[in-house]
Amino acid sequence: MTALDLTPAPGAAPIGRRIARHASMELRLLLRNGEQLLLTIVIPTVLLVVLVHAPLADIPRPRSAFLVPGVLALAVMSTAFTGQAIATGFERRYGVLRRLGATPLGRGGLLAGKTLAVIGVEVLQVALLVAVGLAVGWHPHGSALAALALVLLGTVAFSALGLLMAGTLRAEATLAGANLVYLLLLVVSGIAFPLTDFSASVRHWLQLLPSAALADGLRAALGHGAAVPGRAWIVLAVWAVAAAAAAMRWFRWG
């Protein structure tokens, strides 16, 4: 008869399992938060419907071809940056992150888990916005794979920026700053209003914003089937690498 080995074998789970479990928990928390869902799903959807049908601005025609990719970029920004920054900022304030810091998850695992949870919410966002876009007359062309790659790269950039803000500022400052940045980028990034409304010198700098690069890249990939401009890839990649490195370096648990 084989003896049972009841010797304790303490130790952390493999890093992949730790990240997956944390991402699953973060996703459930995001989907249970009504305010988060308002910011990440309801507002972009309502904005798309209103701007397509209401002549509130001089938007290139067909309006849906300009607006749907822009609102997809807005959805990525609202989930990965604004919503995540605010939620993480208050988790830090209330000591949740200190408790996570005492686990084997680690800073890298925390950042990776939160980013994966954001991607899960974005799947729902993209499905809803694409359905609404098709309903209002949008006819996408081009490469869905290029659009997917842009969304993933933009998610990494915005997620890292949101976590950097939440991990370095007080919760109240994060709340105010994240909402202010959200509103400013909505107006000046070519998401809902064309950058041609700005002078050439100002437009040059605005095109370096990650939200502008994501919106322009998605319009090229989905709006008229053209190749995504190299500038869009470079801008998003630089923001993603720089923000992720900064978040890994300066993110504080408490």
Q: Please report whether residue 3 resides in a domain.
A: no
Taking alpha carbons only, the member of 149, 75, 148, 159 closest to residue 114 is 159
What DSSP string runs through 17-32?
HHHHHHHHHHHHHHHH
The pLDDT value recorded for residue 240 is 96
Q: How many domains does the chain have?
A: 1
* pLDDT tens digits, 212-253: 999 999 999 997 666 889 999 999 999 999 999 999 889 887
Q: Please report whether residue 170 resides in a domain.
A: yes
CA 119-30-132 angle, to 5 degrees, is: 60
Q: Please report whether residue 115 resides in a domain.
A: yes
State mean pLDDT over 15-20.
86
Q: Please report whether residue 109 resides in a domain.
A: yes
Residue 47 neighbours by CB under 8 Å, 6+ apart:
71, 74, 192
Q: 178 is in which domain, residue-wise?
A: 15-250
Q: Looking at the whole model, is its pTM more than 0.75?
A: yes
pLDDT, averaged across the chain:
88
Q: Please report whether residue 159 resides in a domain.
A: yes
Q: Please report whether residue 173 resides in a domain.
A: yes
What DSSP string runs through 132-201?
HHHHTT----S-HHHHHHHHHHHHHHHHHHHHHHHHHS-HHHHHHHHHHHHHHHHHHSSSSS-GGGS-HH
The pLDDT value recorded for residue 151 is 95
Q: Please report whether residue 2 resides in a domain.
A: no
* pLDDT tens digits, 143-165: 889 999 999 999 999 999 999 99
Q: Take residue 179 and report the two structure tokens written for it.
A: 């909402």
* pLDDT tens digits, 177-205: 999 999 999 999 998 888 888 888 999 99
Do residues 124 and 47 make contact, with C-beta atoms less than 8 angstroms apart? no
Q: Take residue 89 and report the two structure tokens written for it.
A: 């900022």
Q: Could you count the other beta carbons within 10 Å of the beta carbon of residue 209? A: 19
Taking alpha carbons only, the member of 113, 100, 95 closest to residue 18 is 113
Q: Please report whether residue 74 resides in a domain.
A: yes
Burial profile 124-150: b = 16 or more Cβ within 10 angstroms, e = fewer? bbbebbbebbeebebebebbeebbebb
Q: Take residue 178 and report the two structure tokens written for it.
A: 């994240």
Alpha-carbon gap, residue 121 to 80, rounded angstroms: 9
Alpha-carbon gap, residue 97 to 30, rounded angstroms: 16
